[in-house]
Every structure is written in structure tokens, then in C-alpha cells.
Structure 1
Amino acid sequence: MSLLGQDRSNAVAKVFSLPEICQRIAHVLDRSTIAACLRVSRACNAAWLPILWYTIDAGKHWHHPAFRNSLSKHSGLIRILKCSRYDDISLLFNTQSNKDTLCENLLTLVLPKTTLINQKDHVRLLLQNPQLRDLSLTFHDDPSSHYSALVDAVGELRFLRRLAFDENKTLQVSTLETILTQCNSSLQELSFKGTHAYKHPFGSGEEFASGLLPIASAPEQITDGIRNLSQDTEIEIKGSFGILSLCMDNVACTQDLLLNLGSRFPLLNRLSLRESVEVYFSQDFPERLARRCPKIKYLDISSTEDMDDDTIARLIASFPNLQTFRASDTRFGDRSLVALIENCRDLTVLDIGAAYGIQGHMVQLLFERCWSLRRLDAWNVSVNVADMIKEAYGGVKGPSAIASGRQHLDTSVSNHNSPITFRQWACHGIESLAMRFDYDACVLTEDEQRLFPPSKARIFVYEQLSKLSKLKYLAITGSLLDAEDQYESGYTNEGDEEDDTSFDVPEIMWMSKNWPSLVSIQGLHEEDDELVIEWLREHRPDISLDDEEID
């Protein structure tokens, strides 16, 4: 080998000796390209072989002899194994080549439906991976009758943190009780995702709660998560579990089921009811749930059609410690937003995409008062900037001002010679913003319309946005930004030596200067605007446009 070739080889070896660089390179390559590189480069082989085998999603390729041969050699590198076919596990163990065990370093395991035929292989795989952290299990038949060995094997996983019974129709209360009791020291996340049956597998959970729910007309008192009833009420008190996260996505769940689960999970801080069906709550349900699970900080009710604005508002008000709230594609409205503003001052993530009936003055109050906000997804939510301006200049006149609705401009505003000040946004730490800014002058008087035309409204929006210096992801659109006088905003690049242009969308250039952390924008340019895209490609190649993949 020549000296030049040796130096080049050493340089390549040094590059691939850095895990961070290897991971970044592998992130932009597909699996077939990585596999091809492994065959032609020793450096690539050493660096990327663990990356290639880290996650295996079983499929038809399991039936290929070449894959099974490779599997027998590299199964020790697999950390995430996902199986969906009934015969996947059998194929795995039939692949052995003078080896007693395969896939013995798994951290995450997704098992196919358990049958009497593959139960033995399931148990075997669990026993040889005692360090499992994440397990998804689907029973095919009645587990209480046939799968005691499998249930015991799950209970032996001392480091298990997440357990999912996704797509289960036959889970029994006794099985759940046994597994939770055996895994109580480590298990923190529980999922019943994707149960399509009209009724949940273990009904309303009355047996699981075991009397922890109060009997009708019996006095109720909670102390340290334990419910005490009157002395003449005989009940069986069961211990609580340390579950922190409960996922009930796409599940037909009743309020009794949630209350029964909550009575056993007093430490719960994350609850997801995304796409849940038949969710009808009584007026006192949010308060009763909050008494059982007072530590909830994450709540997701996205795509639940059976909750109205009042119910959502009561749910929010019952959990003042909320930090993340997701309610996209729901009937989330002004009452719910009022509840967030008044009760959840530590809110950091709010997702109300495709919600309806959100008024501009309420959005203005959200930006003013929720200073902890880091992410707001309100895409497809039309916000009237004229209404925001009216609120910003009007001033709040007491605690009832929010609930009572719209504020009026001070009398000094109508006098154009008087100084005009407005309340600033306080959420300067926001990193992701998606919103539609429109302009409808119907909320303004004639004097106010002259004072705040669309061009001034646009300045109002951009002045507020300019203070959000930590923005990374921005997606904004709306009629206000598309108005013909959009270039009267006053934001130009005067004094910029590298700008000698008359771009059609100068706001893009202004944004790239004011938001140095920005990695994605959407809405402020036309897809066919070649000049804008060319400028961004040259000056800010780190910014992703619209639907491009973000690194």
C-alpha cells in the first residue's frame, strides 16, 4: 500500500472511530446502503455493524436462508426485536448454529400473538433476556387458563419499565394483578393501546380496584393515596402500584375503568386517551380522577370526539400541574383555553391543532401569561390578529376579565396623538410554533380599523415574533401574511453587505437573522419561489423547508 493510500486509510479509520460521526452518517443512509458499505470497507463494517443490527423488525426476510445465517452470527448485537408473525420466534430458534442462545442482549421486545404453539419459545426468549426494559405482549387465548408459565416469565423481568398489552381482547384481571405484583419494583409504564372491543378486556376494572372506589352514599376521604370509608363499610384494601404512565389510546374506556385504574396508580403523572371512543364523563369525573391521581402532568385527549369544551375545561382545571396538554382534533375551545391560562402556569407544550372556536384575544392572553410555553401547535387554527391587538392594547380589568370575554381599547387609543403601549408576549423561550394568522376587522371600530390596518397588524405580529430568539421550528400562514401590502412591514436588510436583492419575500431573510437556532420553516414562502429557496440554500443550508425531513 502506498503512503498516500495508508494515510487515507488511517484518516478513514479515525473518522469511524468517533461514534457521534458514525451515527450522524448512518442516520442519512438507508439499510441497504449501510449493508453495501459493510461489504467493501472494514472501517464501515466495524462502525456500522452494531447500528445495522441494533433494531430488527421481523418480516418476510426472516424466511430467507441468508438472513437467518447472518442472524445466527450477529444476534448478540440486537437490542430491539419486533416480531409480528406467528412463526417468527420459531424461526429464530431454528436458526441456531451450535449456539445455545440467540438474542440474549435485548432491551425492547415486541412479541407476536401468543398461541399454545409458540408459548414455549416466548417463555424461552424472555428467560434469556432478564435485562428487558420494554415488552409488548398480546395474548391470543384466555391467559388465566393456558399461559401461567408465560405470566411467570414476565414477572421475573426485574428491570422491566414498560409493559404493553396492545391489541388484547382477553386480558384477565387476575393476570394483570399477578404481573403488576411481581414487577412492582421496576414497572413504570402500562399500555392498553389499540383495544377495539366495545368493552375493555377486563371490563370496568371493579375487581382490580377491589373496593377502593367508594360505595354509593359512603363518605369518602383520601390520605396518602389510600381510601378510607366509614367503619361499618367492609372493603378489601389492595396495595397501589408505582405506575407513572398509562396509555389508553384507541380504547373503548368508560370513566369507571379510568377511576378504577387511577385508584391503584396514585403516582400516575402521564395519561393518554388519544383516539379513545365512547368516552363520556360526568361533571364530577375530572375532580374524582384528580383526587386519585393528583400528580398528572401530561394529558393527551387528541381525537376524542365525545368531550365537549366544558368537559375539557373541567378536566384541565382539575390538574393545575399540567405541563403537556394535547387536544388536537377535539372540541377544545375558549373555555378550555381559559382553564389553561388560569390554572396551568407551568404549561410547556400545548397541541390544539385543528381545534375550533379559538378567539384571538384568548391566544394573546396565552402568550402573555404562559411564560413557560416551549411548544405550541395550533396549525389550522385561525387566529384573528385584529382581536389579538384589541386585547393587547385594552388591558385586563380584574380577574373576571378573561372569562367575561373581549377587552376594549383605552380611550387614549382613539387619540392618535397619545402614546400607545401594549402588553408583550412573555413566552420568549418558545422553540416550536405553528399557527395561522388571519385578519378580520369586524371586531374593530372604524377608528380602530384606521389605527390598525393589516400592515400595522403584520408589524405587531413580527415584532412579537422577533423576541422569540430560541425558535427552532416555525410554521405560520394565514391571510394576514398573504396580503398585498405585506412588504410594508418595515423589516428590510439595510446595511447588510451580502444583500443586494429585491426578493419577493424579504421576511425570510429577516427571519434567518433574528432566529439563529431555526432549523425548519413553513408558510412564509411559496414552493415555486426559486429565488427564495436559492437564497436559503446558499446562506442558510441548515434550514429545512416545508415537508423536508429534519435532521
Structure 2
Amino acid sequence: MFNIPELDNIVCQQLNRHDMAQCVCVCRRWHSIVAPYLWYDIGSVWGEFNRQAFRRLVLNDYYLYAQQRQGQLKQDQYQYQDQEQEQEQEQEQEQDQEQDQDQDHDLYIQEQYDDLQELSHSFFVPPLTKYGSMIKKIPKHADFLRYFQPPSPDSKTALTNPYGQGQEKELQQQQQQIEKKPTPQQLYRHFLSRCHAIEHHDQLSISIDDLMSDDALKTYGMLAPHARVLRTDTSKPHENTVEPWKLKYILTRCTSKLRVLNLRFIAVGSKNNPMMNNKDLSITRAAAAVTTTAIKAEHTGPELNIKTINLYGCHSDLASRPFWLWLWQQCRYVECLEIGEVNQLVAQTLVSSMPTCMPALERLHLGGNDGYRSTLTDHHISELITGSPQGLKSIVATGTISFLRDSLSSLTSHFATLETLIIPANYRLDGNSLLPILSYCPRLHTLDTVLIQGYSDVVLCKMDMDIFIDLDPKTNTLIPWACENTLKVLKLMITGVPRPDLLREDEVIIVPEKHVDGSGIDTGDDGGIGGRKPQCQVYERLGRFVNLEALWLGHNPFMTYNFYHTEEHDRGYQLQCLEMTVESGLDRLISLKSLKELDVSDLETRIGLVDVQWMTKHWPQLHTIAGLSPHTDDERAIKWLQHYYPDIRLPASELFWV
């Protein structure tokens, strides 16, 4: 080795564990250089045999440490007895006899200490005692816990003592002095206490099933101070009941490092817990009461600094209400709140605590991401929206969340601060509800009413053309909107656009043949029913969003719907829409220099070669055009784009039809 840290690091990174183990045995110099790299990452230890060897090292260190503690206790006891004897001797004032007794007693203590040292040296000192400070990386909690599981008696990987029969007898004698064999959780905690340089994982996943044991609860308590993301997980989603004081025990041991808290469990109080059985659980109700009392008087350490809290599936009974009230008091720095499936009690405690306990709340996500139906009522949604004292910047509603009268009216209190609004799949949301949002939100940069989280029975939000144009009746000009210079993402279905180029006869779409001059049927700009003036007005409104980067006028091209070919034709393919051609007024969108995405999925557009050439020329940042179908007149346009602009994505909506 070069004894130069940079070069040694390069060399050791090229070696596997077997090669590094060989280098350690070369000489003392190589041993001191290579050993830290050998012990750096325990996760690289593979194979059941090697894992059991690692467990044996930790187990030996555990027994040695226990023996040292017992010896220290005995030594302290002897010293205490010595002090008592000295006091008695001072009272009797027998100096000579006192000195003789002191010498005899010191000799006795020294003999006991020498015996302990001899016993410690005779027992194999595991490398963990010396190299524990070199261990930096370990596997995740669930994976690393398997390293400490004892092998089965008939397992071929069961290890024998490689240190000789004499030392094996000493090992057995010392093990007999330990009242109880250590559990995997105890070995895990002992390992953590001996290795202080470990780079702990930022994410800690708590298994609700493991919290039935106080042994696992103590382990989670040791890992909690290092967590930045804390989540509860379970293998039984509908049976994940837990006493809330156990989660409180873990949360009170977290530090200001904690940023994200994800909760999914059913909180059941001790008295009403149907799973509580003193015969099966090692944690009794008395122990729960003692621990709860200790926690109430304990939390004087660093204040929690949670920024995001996610309630994906939380239910509670009345006995667990104090836990939720305590939890909301720890959320004074929360900026993002995500609420999925919660019962009425959790929602009520949250609504009552938000104005005082969450002064920094900026983002509210309702509905979660798991595809279940939310149980939040319109009143709860309204209270949650109005609960932020400083104004919300982002409101996202997914799943089956529906904004009714109270919810929609509560949005007005956030018009001054609102930046992102995603509220798709809504029965009550229409153009009349969206118009005030577009008109009076000066910071709005995202309006999405198209995104759907996998539901097939939803009614898509649509905005009528007349409402979207928003003409001033006095001047017959477009009324300015507050978000014209800030809006970057607009995903909105605009309906009611007259299409004189399409005739319907018995629900069958007929596209008239073009004249010889290619102009099609008469679609003059006279402003009547047969003209294109309404389309020009829609283009003019869209052209005012000068910073627009994503324009979705059709369905989500990346979702699969199963209601396209139903009798309710207006829920699927759209006929009354923009043609998206230069001939119909597309050139009025020349100001959209920042446009990157265009979606016309399931719209009866007439995009041709001339139109895509105009788009690529005036929208230099364009990278996606969704909705072009190779089975229509757009085939030449698609081939031209694929040849001259291969980087532009062309997802076809028909590929997602059911």
C-alpha cells in the first residue's frame, strides 16, 4: 500500500471483500490501511454462512460486554464496602489495623480485577470491539435484522466454535452467567450502541406488526433520532391496529432531522383494543400507562421539524383522540398536508387544530395516491381549505374528491396566494366555477382539470367556449385575466366550439369532401354559425398566456378509459373542439414561444402537414404532440415529424382505448 489516502482509496475500491481480507493478513501496515475498507459496508456481506459468522461476532461482543458490566458492578460494590469500612475504622481510630485491612482489601480487589482481565483475555475478543468505529454503512432495518436471526438447529449453515475446545468451555460458562439469551432485536441494539460512526438511512419504515413487541419498539426508538422520513407499514392493511402511545413513544425520540411523516394505521385505545391479550402481548396495560406517563413528562428535547405529513389510511376510535390532538401540536412547521382515507374522528380533530397548529401550511393534497374512494365530506374539505391562516399556494384533489358548493366557495379565500390548482374528475366543477379562478388569481401557474387517477365512472370537467372567451359586453373585447403572465400549465377541455366542417347524420360523423381548391366547405369569417370567428376568439384567449409551457385540450393521453364507446358520446370523443389548423386561426398562438407540450387527444382536429410545420417553426421548445392518429388525414404530418424532428414525442391516444 502507498500510505496515501487518495491512492489507497482508489486501490481498495477495486478489490472485493475476499481480496481485502487477504490484504489485511499481509502485515500490520497493510492491516491498518485496508481494515477500514473491509468493515466499511456490512451490506456487502452476502451468503447465509457469512451472515451467521457476522452474527457470531456480534454475539461474542455482547457476552463480553455483559461480563465487563458485571465485573464493573462488582468492583463498584467492593469500593462502596471499602468506604464503609474506612468510616468505621476512623471512628475506632485504629490506624495500624486500618492500614492492614486496607492493604488486604486492595489486594482482594486487585485479585478480582486481575481475574476479570484474565477471563476477558482468555475469551476471544471479536473484531467488533476494535473495528466497530470503522463500520459506516449497514442495510435497511428489515434486511439487516435478518443478520441477527439464529440459524435453525438442522441448518447446514450453523457454525461451530473455531477457537478451540478450551475456549468453548469458557464461552459456555460465560453464556450461562447471562440470565437470558439475546434476541435478534437485542443484538441489533447492541450493535448500534457499539458502532457510533454508522451513516444511518434517512428513511425508517415502521412495521405495525412488529410493534406488538416491546423489544422491537425499543429498536425503533434507537433508530428514530436519525430518520428524515418516517413511515408506518403493515402486511395486513385492514388489520393494522396499534395503540397510539407506541407511535408517540417513537415520535418523541425523533429529532429536528425528521422532515416527512407518512402514517397508515388504525389507532385503537388500550381499553377498546380487541387485539389486546395479556397472554399474547409482552406489553401489558400497566406498562402502557407507565410509558405514557413518562412520555408526557419527557418531550423536552429538540423540537420536531416536520415539513410534510401524509395520512394515507388513518382510522381511530374515541379513546385515541388525545394522540391526534398531541400529533397536530407537533406540526407547527408543516408546509404540505396530504390526506387520503381518514375517518370522521381524525378529520374532526384535524379541522379543529389546523388554524392554530399549522400556521406554515402552504400545500394541501386531498385524495391520496392509492386509488381508493375518499370519505371526506364537502364540509370537511371546505374547513381544510379555509384552515390555512396564511393562504394556500397549492391545492390538489385526486381520486374521487369532489368539490361541492362549500368547497368551491372556500377557494376564494386563497385567490391571492394560489399557484397550483389540480381538481379533476369533478361533478360540480364547470366553466362558471373556473372563470373566477382564472380571472382573479395573479400567481396561478398550473390549472389542471384533466388528470385522472384511474377511475372510469368520472365526469370530466369541461368549460364552455363562451365562458372561456369571456367577452366584455360593452366593448366586445376580451376581459383581461390576472393569470395571463403567470400561467404555465393549462389542462382544460373547451367545448361548444362550432365546427361547420363536420355534419352529423343519425349520430354518424360525416367529413365533407374538400373542393378542388382544398378549402373545404364554406367556413367564412362572418361570425355566424358557419364561421370560424369563435375559434379565432378562443385562440386569441389562449395566445394571451405568453409563458404557457403545457397546453392540454383533450383527454389525458397516458391514461386508459373504459367509457369511450358508450351511449354517452360526450364523455368520450369530442367533436365540438378547435381544429388546430392555421386556416382556423392557429397563427394567433404565435406568442407561445415557451410551449413544450400540446395534447389534442380524442379531439376531432384537422392538423395537417402545414400546421405541424408552423408549430415547429414558431414553438422552438416543443417536444410532445399527443393525439395525432396515423389512421386519419394526419399521416403525412406524422411522417414528416418523425423524419425531420425525431425528438418530438407523438403518443397516439387510440393506443390507450379500451
**Fold agreement, TM-score > 0.5:** yes
1:294 and 2:359 equivalent? yes
Offset of 1:354 from its aligned partner? 1.4
Partner of 1:147: 216
1:526 maps to which residue? 629
Residue 360 of structure 1 and its aligned partner are, at CA, apart by 0.8
Is the alpha carbon distance of 1:89 and 1:166 closer, same or farther for their aligned partners in structure 2, counting shifts above 3 Å?
farther
Say whether the 8 Å CA contact 2:211–2:246 is kept in structure 1: no
Give distance in 2, aligned partners of 1:201 and 1:542.
58
1:460-515 C-alpha deviation (Å, 9 max, x unpaired)? 333233343444444321736646797652225999xxxxxx95376555544554
The structure with more radius of gyration: 2
Which segment is superposed worse, 106-115 or 341-350? 106-115
Q: What are the equivalent positions in structure 2 for 1:313-462 lying under 5 Å apart?
A: 313-319=382-388, 320-329=390-399, 330-333=401-404, 335-379=406-450, 381-389=460-468, 392-394=470-472, 410=473, 412=474, 419-424=476-481, 426-439=483-496, 455-462=532-539
Cα pair 1:192 1:249 within 8 Å, conserved: yes
Question: How far apart are the structure 1 equivalents of 2:406 and 2:216?
Answer: 49
Counterpart contact for 1:359–1:387, Cα < 8 Å: no
Aligned to 1:241: 304
Mapping of residues 34-183 of structure 1, within 5 Å: 93=51, 109=140, 111=142, 117=149, 119=185, 123=189, 124=191, 129-142=198-211, 145-147=214-216, 149-157=218-226, 160-167=227-234, 169=240, 171-183=242-254
Q: Which residue of 1 aligns with 2:648?
A: 543
Label 1:134 to 1:513 Cα distance change in 2 as closer, same or farther (>3 A): farther
Q: CA deviation at 1:450?
A: 6.4
Distance across 1 between alignment mates of 2:219 and 2:534 = 64
2-side partners of 1:471 and 1:103: how far apart?
A: 53
What do residues 245-289 of structure 1 show as CA deviations (whole Å, max 9, x unaligned)?
211113335795654421232222221112x14347888963542
Instruction: Give the 3-state SS of the residue equivalent to 1:286 in structure 2.
Output: helix
TM-score (norm 2): 0.50
Identity of aligned residues (%): 19
For residues 47 and 425 of structure 2, the distance between their equivalents in structure 1, rounded to whole angstroms, comes to 42
Alignment coverage as a number of residue pairs = 406
Determine which of 313, 322, 334 is the counterpart of 1:268.
334
Paired position in structure 1 for 2:553: 476
**Any conservation in 2 of the 1:374–1:431 contact (CA below 8 Å)?**
yes
Q: How far is 1:518 from its partner? A: 3.8
**Aligned residue number for residue 490 of structure 1:** 585
Larger helix proportion of the pair:
2
Shift of 1:343: 2.1
- Tell me, in whole angstroms, the C-alpha distance in 2 between the residues paired with 1:453 and 1:335: 41
Amino acid at match of 1:477: G
3-state SS, counterpart of residue 210 of structure 2? coil
- CA shift in 2, pair 1:185/1:452, >3 Å: farther
Aligned equivalents of 2:47 and 2:244: distance in 1?
Answer: 27
Letter in 2 for 1:356: Y
Change (3 A) 1:486 1:547: closer
Kept in 1: contact 2:351–2:387 (CA 8 A): yes
What secondary structure does 1:388 align onto? helix
Partner of 1:309: 378
2:629 counterpart letter in structure 1: E
Q: 1:493 to 1:312 in 2, by over 3 A?
A: closer
Question: 1:458, CA displacement in angstroms?
Answer: 3.0
Give 2:92's aligned residue.
Answer: none
TM-score normalised to structure 1 length: 0.58
1:108-135, CA deviations, whole angstroms, 9 ceiling, x for partnerless residues?
Answer: 9463697994535754479563443222
CA shift for structure 1 position 297: 1.0
* Structure 2 letter corresponding to 1:347: L
Distance in 2 (CA, whole Å) between partners of 1:454 and 1:334 is 37
5 Å-filtered alignment, 1:2-13, equals: none
Q: 1:265 to 1:130 in 2, by over 3 A?
A: same
Gaps of 5+ in 1: 1-45, 51-72, 82-87, 212-234, 395-409, 413-417, 442-448, 496-501
1:75 and 1:344 map into 2 onto residues whose CA distance is 57
Distance across 1 between alignment mates of 2:471 and 2:589? 30
Query: Bigger shift: 247-256 or 485-494?
Result: 485-494
Tell me, in whole angstroms, the C-alpha distance in 1 between the residues paired with 2:53 and 2:529: 73
- Secondary structure at the aligned position of 2:585 is classed as coil
Q: Deviations over 1:309-337 (max 9, x none)?
A: 34323321222521221112311246434
- Indicate if the aligned counterparts of 1:348 and 1:372 stay in contact, CA closer than 8 A: yes
> 3-state SS of the aligned residue for 1:325?
strand
